[in-house]
Homo-oligomer: A and B are copies of this chain.
Amino acid sequence: MSRIVLGDNQYGKAETRLVRVERGQDRHDVVDLNVTTTLAGDLAATHLTGDNSGVLPTDTQKNTVYAFARDGVGEIEDFALRLARHFVGTAPAIRRARVRIEQYTWERLAGHSFRRGAGTRTATASCDGENAWVVSGLADLVVLNTTGSEFHGFHKDRYTTLAETTDRILATAVTAQWRHAEPRSDDWGTSHAESTRHLLAAFADTHSLSLQQTLHAMGERVLTERPEVAEVRLALPNKHHFLVDLAPFGLDNPGEVFYAADRPYGLIEGTVLRSGAPEPGLAWW
């Protein structure tokens, strides 16, 4: 007879907002983070009987994030690793930990004055007590090409009405995550800046026949230029811009006036990776 059993489970504290001020002699720096911690392990007891002896409270996880920040944050990949490694084994039942961090951009106005910029840097560290994995990334990076994008030669069926085009606007909000071959680096900051630069460059200089082609070019560029990266995952919404028909008003519209639609949108997702790279393990947990 069939039984009802507990399957995969995990828990943690989501969106702990941490702002760290680094008070230098002549100027300050500010680190602005959103930290989400997730733990898993032998947690059947709390599910089945409410015995919480294996549970490290999510409140404690939050406290730990703040306490660890006292010693400085540094690069978010390192901070995520420090936290993930700490959490495994804090309670005997905890066997795995994942720490995801979003870092918001601040641009300096003056010595201790800042303005929030666009785009978000992300990092995820996962750990099982023996091994660790690091994924870097970015989110909310909105980019647009006004030309250099075509879409034609696609499959047509009885529901196809889309006109083929050799010139359209291509716009997307990039969410990218790239897995590092090793969970260590001398310079996460440069690695992130360079990977970001290559993603943007590939978006800008790829003459695109499909958003899939652009996606692949972006991932390939990072892998070609950054040997420390083993795999790149991209999610690219196709933010449609429709040419407005101005003919009813006696006007032409040679690719100049567009309506930017909200929904629906295309959504293109794909992975580009290095063959022979280390196994991902818990990197994408």
Among A45-53, A128-136, A183-191, the one that faces the other chain is A45-53
Contact residues, A237-279 vs B (CB, 8 A): 237-238, 241, 244, 246, 248-249, 251, 253-277
A11: chain B residues at CB < 8 Å are 212, 266-269
Given contacts A32-B260, A112-B146, contact A155 B7 (CB under 8 A): no
- Per-residue 0/1 for A99-128: is the Cβ within 8 Å of any B Cβ (1 yes, 0 no)? 000000110011011111110000000000
Tally chain A residues at the interface, Cβ within 8 Å: 137
- Residue contact A3 to B249, C-beta cutoff 8 Å: no
Bound together, the chains give a CA A205 to CA B156 distance in angstroms of 46
- Secondary structure of the A contact surface, majority rule: mixed
Contact for A263 among B17, B51, B117, B238, CB less than 8 A: B17
Residues B162 and A275 in contact, CB atoms below 8 Å apart? no
Asked whether A57 lies within 8 Å of B154 as measured between CB atoms, the reply is yes
Within 8 A of B (CB), among A31-68: 32, 36, 38, 43, 46-60, 62-64, 66-67
0/1 interface trace, chain A 136-157, chain B, CB 8 Å (1 if under): 0000011111111011111111
Residues of chain B within 8 A of A2, CB atoms compared: 274-277
| CB-based contact B49/A213 at 8 Å | yes
Contacts of A216 in B (CB 8 A): 6, 47-48
> Chain B contacts of A166 at CB under 8 A?
none
**Residue from B116, B268, B275 within 8 A of A144 (CB atoms):** B116
Given known A-B contacts A143-B113, A155-B52, A5 and B267 have beta carbons under 8 A apart: no
Sampled A-B contacts (11; CB under 8 Å): A4-B272, A4-B274, A16-B264, A19-B169, A47-B216, A56-B154, A58-B266, A62-B264, A92-B155, A114-B146, A118-B118
A interface with B by C-beta (< 8 Å): 2-23, 28, 30, 32, 36, 38, 43, 46-60, 62-64, 66-67, 69-70, 90-93, 105-106, 109-110, 112-118, 141-148, 150-162, 169, 200-201, 203-205, 208-210, 212-213, 215-216, 219-220, 223-224, 231, 237-238, 241, 244, 246, 248-249, 251, 253-277
